[in-house]
Amino acid sequence: MLKSTEKSDSINSISNGSIFEGNLTSNGDVRVDGKLKGSVKTEGRLVLGEKGIIEGDIYCENAIVAGEIKGTINTSELLTLRSTAKLNGEIITIKLAIEPGAVFSGKCSMGPVIKNIKPESNPQTRTKEKTA
């Protein structure tokens, strides 16, 4: 597992042609132009280049996606899917911007209160109200 322990202005980068297997945790920004198999957790911004591929779950503040994601992406602010983006999985975000040409297949949960929503209890176990 790769960890960045101090918040800095530097950008963690996986270059085109590189393959990274494992979990990446960072306090700064992350750019992926190669292939990453595993989860990404960053308190900063994630940028996925056109040739970049991520297979795994992503947790970040903001994301700009131009490459391919297979998994769940969870952003606490804005997710931008560029026209070359391909996303197969789940989106959980506050704000979403999708350019024409982007491909998304999966489930999307969006909005400021989405993270506070709890699943409804089973309707068969709820007590019924009595009326006169």
Which tens digits make up the pLDDT trace of 25-39?
998 999 999 999 999
More confident residue, 117 or 51: 51
pLDDT single digits (tens) 99-124? 999 999 999 998 876 555 444 544 45
Strand ranges, E, within the chain: 2-3, 11-14, 19-21, 24-26, 29-32, 35-37, 40-42, 45-48, 53-55, 58-60, 62-65, 68-75, 78-81, 86-93, 95-98, 103-110
Tell me what pLDDT residue 118 has: 46
**Cβ–Cβ contacts within 10 Å for residue 55, how many?**
16
Q: In one letter, which amino acid is 85?
A: A
Q: Where are the domains of the chain?
A: 15-113
Token pair of 75, please?
């952003």
End-to-end CA distance of the chain: 63
